[in-house]
Amino acid sequence: MARSSRVREPLWVRLILRTVVVTYLVLLVAWPVALVVLNTFQDGFVHMAEALADPVVQNALRLTAVVAVSAVVINLLFGVTISLLLVRYEFPGKRALSAMIDVPLSVSPVVVGLALLLVYGSRTGWFGPALADAGIQMVFATPAMVMATAFVALPLVIREVVPVLEEVGDEQEQAARSLGAGGAQTFWRITLPSIKWAVVYGVVLSLARSLGEFGAVKVVSGNIVGRTQTATLVVEQKYQNFEQTTAYSVAFLLAFASVVCIVVVSILRPKEES
């Protein structure tokens, strides 16, 4: 039997590397999150019950759910469409489009919010005054919050679906068309089943990102209490108003939702790989 060509590092080197990595993760992730959990439940479920009974928190959680789910649906539709466009077709500007998709990952969310203000602001925006005259309020309302959230989370769907589309190829799709299947029939029976888990991963990650969005939403929402405050904005307000227990409770709910999303992804991936 041939010996493995992989070089194994000495035991002490491996131990040092593991210690450094674990220490880094504990200090950066585990310890801060654990402190939020401990402060939330230091007196049992009293603080959580008080937070959930607060009308401001209730409205913020409802609005967060509406904004996040709306953004995920938009990203699902446009993410799959853009992925098919990038993989299955050749056209001028394809590389530029692919690069633009990564812009939300590299640009500060605050910049995204400011850009939406410049375009859809009801007074000085390009389209805002015309929309306001038609009775449609974009900025400082739910529509702009959904747009900002969808913008920052869009790459998560596309970057999950594109590699899978490239891997499966288009042979089965071409065979289906040669047998008389239409475009819609080919998509629903051939393409979608082959990328379904990638779509699921993208949707779950997009949901987790949408629930925690802060910067872009704060700029376009106006942070109006009881109207345009999402859960992340409530955390900031409550903490600054010395209502730390409520802030910890809402922060825990956001962290818990994100962790659940990550766990779902980690459970689904081995099933697909097997």
The full set of domain ranges for the chain reads 55-273
| Contact status, residue 164 vs residue 194, Cβ threshold 8 Å | yes
Predicted confidence band at 1 (pLDDT cuts at 50, 70, 90)?
Answer: very low
Q: Residue 199 has which token pair?
A: 């779509």
Instruction: State pTM to two decimals.
Output: 0.85
Listed residue (252, 149, 260, 251) closest to 210, CA to CA: 149
The CATH architecture assigned to 55-273 reads: Orthogonal Bundle (1.10)
Q: Residue 137 has which token pair?
A: 């309020």
Predicted confidence band at 59 (pLDDT cuts at 50, 70, 90)?
Answer: very high
Q: Looking at residue 55, what is its pLDDT? A: 94
Check residues 130 and 19 and name the one with the higher pLDDT: 19
Taking each continuous run of H as one helix and of E as one strand, the counts in the chain are 15, 0
Predicted confidence band at 271 (pLDDT cuts at 50, 70, 90)?
Answer: low
CA distances from 255 to 26, 179, 241 (A): 16, 49, 21
Rounded to 10°, the helix 46-53/55-88 angle is 80
| Contact status, residue 118 vs residue 125, Cβ threshold 8 Å | yes
**79: CB partners within 8 A, 6+ apart:** 154, 157, 158, 161, 202, 206
- Tokens 């490239």 sit on residue: 166
Predicted confidence band at 169 (pLDDT cuts at 50, 70, 90)?
Answer: confident
